[in-house]
A and B are shown apart, each in its own frame.
Chain A
């Protein structure tokens, strides 16, 4: 039997003596969308950072397509795409060069230019493709980071508040993209305060409170 794309076993996280994430276990299957909502400071970003491997949990482990994220990081990272809430970019590379960098780093060569052009067009960044990230607005930077997440192959997509700075058109396109990715079999987890988006996506919706989430 093949492994689920994302399997979370008893992960928890403590900032010093403060329990930011209480012990939790869950599985996300192919084509499934999980939407996590919750107030500020509920622990959503901590959970996403742990699931992306950027933060080492105090306990537990995360398996991506059967690969331990903290032990077999390279194999796991090939299958995991993560969008942070405040993405940083290389200030010397333009929008197009960032896309090229991420795509080729993930060995996506064939058809990359066409895919990149389509994504740029969908997210209305075609005219900004030669612009440096520091000259982009916050919403445009967010769109660039979404494109960077989508340009490469993955089986698990994690997005931390992807609509926080998006315009309504951008949000609608992202919604369509997520639905289509889910239909293609990707496991998706997103955190958001946008309850209408959460309802529209129609997946599992979980409320996070004081580091506690029940997704079992």
Chain B
């Protein structure tokens, strides 16, 4: 009979697994509370549809491997049957080393804040918690690798068919997938357990173990780089890396057995043996596991996962920024001046402290989208792709131009207390991102013209008006949706449909004028004049509306 504490652990674990399944079911529109017959039929349909879809994708990829990749490799003097086990081995070991690297920094056991309070403070069996969490997490981690294994198995079957087997039956397919899986499943489980052993070992922290972890990190890094170089070297320059061949043969022994040679007792024994040893080590090490430490390390990442699931990317960025910022910082040496200029000082400090590659990429995306748009519009003349690119570009510009303003709205108490007018705050927050966006868009147009694309001067001249118009449309939309209760708890609104529709007006104005110039002999100068006139009128109107809305929040 299972004890009460173990029952509680299993219940929590089961709830987590069910919550994950329910999330995906909710995404595909299945209501788990609906017990009607039609809902059950829909669930059955979903299972059949997605199983068929997954199999179809796997067949498509295996077909590509067998009929395109294999001849391609052969034409370059390489054989598919040699390359696949080697590359698979490389990927599996790199994944394991990366996971070990991560486990030396952060616990593999992830607990939410609720778990930290409800579970980690209780004297539950640590070993049981570890194994329950381990087997709860393993399927999602293994799913992709198992799907790739089965796909490669299908590719080998297809190669065999080309070499003589006439009929591909369900039995053939099942054997083609199950044969490599019988080796890969215990192998992956063993490696996954090994990663957890490292993580659990680190959680029972003392000075010696901290040093061991540091060495392990460096070792994992060196091993990964060495293996990467040796494996690729032995594929592309086999004669140069001939000395490493025995090592590679030793490492690929299990995968050769899985994909090529058939299951031998030795390969199965090694794979299952590795799994057994790793699980035993995990069991032995997890007896005195510090759950509170694990929860302390991971509740932020659990919060990020939850935020990701509900699409709250602002919350994710906030958590990441906090982790990056740490607890303290020496005062900035950037000079500050009294009055409205202090807003610029604040923005510079904020921007410098949260500058990341992903934030830079958000800006560069505008550049690449503009170039893609000109290629789609000028070379491909594909109006559908152009329309999608323009809508996406508009959204990106709107998001980037209003990011600072949104952040200020999230600190409504402080911003509202400033003796600055609504107009000044709006213009101040929007001005810098608008200038950067205009510069990026012009750069992209200039780069496109260097590529030989002809860009109309109307497009070039209308960029500032379009960007400013989009920015004010988005700001107005945010202010329109803003609720003081939400702002005071740091939850500003996002861009809505109204903002997007208003923004599209600013795209439509130059487009219509461009069309009129082309078809009705309107002079380009007059056209430009009309664009400026209409855009400026709309921009001023939106600014006035935004100011009014700013004062009326609440």
Give chain A's interface residues, CB within 8 Å of chain B.
49, 52-56, 70, 73-74, 77-78, 81-82, 84, 86-94, 96-97, 100-102, 104-109, 130-132, 134-135, 148
Between A and B, 6 residue pairs with Cβ closer than 8 Å are A56-B552, A93-B350, A101-B336, A104-B338, A132-B327, A132-B329
The answer to whether A94 touches B331 (Cβ under 8 A) is yes
The residues of A that contact B410 with a CB separation of less than 8 Å are 88
Quote the shortest CB–CB distance from B323 to chain A (angstroms). Answer: 10
Interface stretch, picked from B162-170, B192-200, B418-426, is B418-426
Given contacts A86-B489, A101-B346, A131-B327, contact A78 B552 (CB under 8 A): no
The 6 closest A-B pairs by CB, nearest first: A135-B327, A55-B554, A92-B350, A104-B342, A56-B554, A78-B419
The residues of A that contact B342 with a CB separation of less than 8 Å are 100-101, 104-105
Residue in B332, B343, B552, B554 whose beta carbon sits within 8 Å of that of A105 in the complex:
B343
> Chain B interface: which size bin?
35 or more
Quote the shortest CB–CB distance from B329 to chain A (angstroms). Answer: 5
Given contacts A70-B551, A101-B346, contact A91 B318 (CB under 8 A): yes
The residues of B that contact A54 with a CB separation of less than 8 Å are 412-413, 416, 484, 488, 554
Residue in B318, B329, B346, B551 whose beta carbon sits within 8 Å of that of A94 in the complex:
B329
The answer to whether B421 touches A74 (Cβ under 8 A) is yes
Q: A73-B551, A82-B413 are in contact. List 14 more A-B contacts (CB 8 A).
A: A49-B484, A77-B417, A78-B419, A84-B413, A84-B488, A87-B413, A88-B489, A91-B322, A93-B350, A101-B414, A104-B338, A105-B338, A109-B338, A130-B330
Residue in B318, B329, B337, B350 whose beta carbon sits within 8 Å of that of A104 in the complex:
B337
The residues of A that contact B328 with a CB separation of less than 8 Å are 94, 130-132, 135
Give chain B's interface residues, CB within 8 Å of chain A.
318, 321-322, 325-332, 336-340, 342-343, 345-346, 349-350, 353-354, 407, 410-414, 416-422, 484, 488-490, 551-554
The answer to whether B489 touches A97 (Cβ under 8 A) is no
Nearest residue (CB) in B for A98 is B414
The residues of A that contact B329 with a CB separation of less than 8 Å are 94, 130, 132
The answer to whether B551 touches A91 (Cβ under 8 A) is no
The residues of B that contact A55 with a CB separation of less than 8 Å are 484, 554
Task: Report the Cα distance A88→B340, complex, angstroms.
Answer: 21
Nearest residue (CB) in A for B421 is A74
Residue in B336, B414, B417, B554 whose beta carbon sits within 8 Å of that of A49 in the complex:
B554
Task: Report the Cα distance A78→B346, complex, angstroms.
Answer: 20
The residues of B that contact A104 with a CB separation of less than 8 Å are 336-339, 342, 345
The answer to whether B350 touches A90 (Cβ under 8 A) is yes
The residues of B that contact A70 with a CB separation of less than 8 Å are 551
Task: Report the Cα distance A92→B321, complex, angstroms.
Answer: 8
